[in-house]
Structure 1
């Protein structure tokens, strides 16, 4: 078993729970546009939150995804300029593969920022 993480808007996650399919690659970009869903490892998601969601005014959630439940390919790929590899999910995310959801706050929206 392996766990990966994805930062999502609460609205996108709720829509996925209703439709049975999550297809947002990253904030404002669809799976169809990008070709895969961006994900991260446990030690990477906070940096992703700060880098890509800092100005997001919408409520955000962190999805904890069990890769064994996905049914689509997950590929570790180097991301230019980061020196790190990130998991990319090549297909729609079945909400049943999400084993945990918790609210997170973009850094610019935290108290005192």
Structure 2
């Protein structure tokens, strides 16, 4: 009897961070350290696309555009990443029990596996993330 074995699929956790292109492209040779790292002690990230879009609509809707979403491989980060509840509450459209990844140090550029652009509808709401191009 021949037995066939397949390795289980290994799924890595990807997290998302919203950034303006000018901020992301500044000092491209260094780890990325947004203002929130100095202000809050960590880099704000989101656990998935839907939550990222809710964050954009809650906090970035009236800001300058375009906006990017960095897709980060959590395992490639050298800084500690802790999953914590939103304080005081998650943005509209996000379940109350949702945990957010907070990175307690700069983002390593080699942890970025994709850079996506936020897409907007005619009413100015973020509706999706798309490859640059």
TM-score, normalized by length of structure 2? Answer: 0.72
| Structure 1 residues not aligned, in runs of 5+ | none
User: How many residues are paired up?
Assistant: 105
Structure with the higher strand share, 1 or 2 = 1
Q: 2:39 aligns with which of 14, 20, 33?
A: 33
2:61 alignment counterpart: 54
1:102 alignment counterpart: 116
Give per-residue Cα distances to partners, 1:16-62, cap 9 Å, x unaligned. Answer: 5x2421111xxxx3311110000001131010110110111232101
| Structure 2 residues not aligned, in runs of 5+ | 1-11, 91-95, 125-133
**C-alpha contact (below 8 Å) 2:36/2:44 kept by paired residues:** no
TM-score, normalized by length of structure 1? Answer: 0.84
| RMSD after superposition | 1.6
2:70 alignment counterpart: 63
- Cα shift at 1:112: 4.2
Bigger relative contact order, structure 1 or 2 (CA pairs below 8 A, ≥6 apart): 1
Q: Which runs of 4+ in 1 moved over 6 A?
A: none
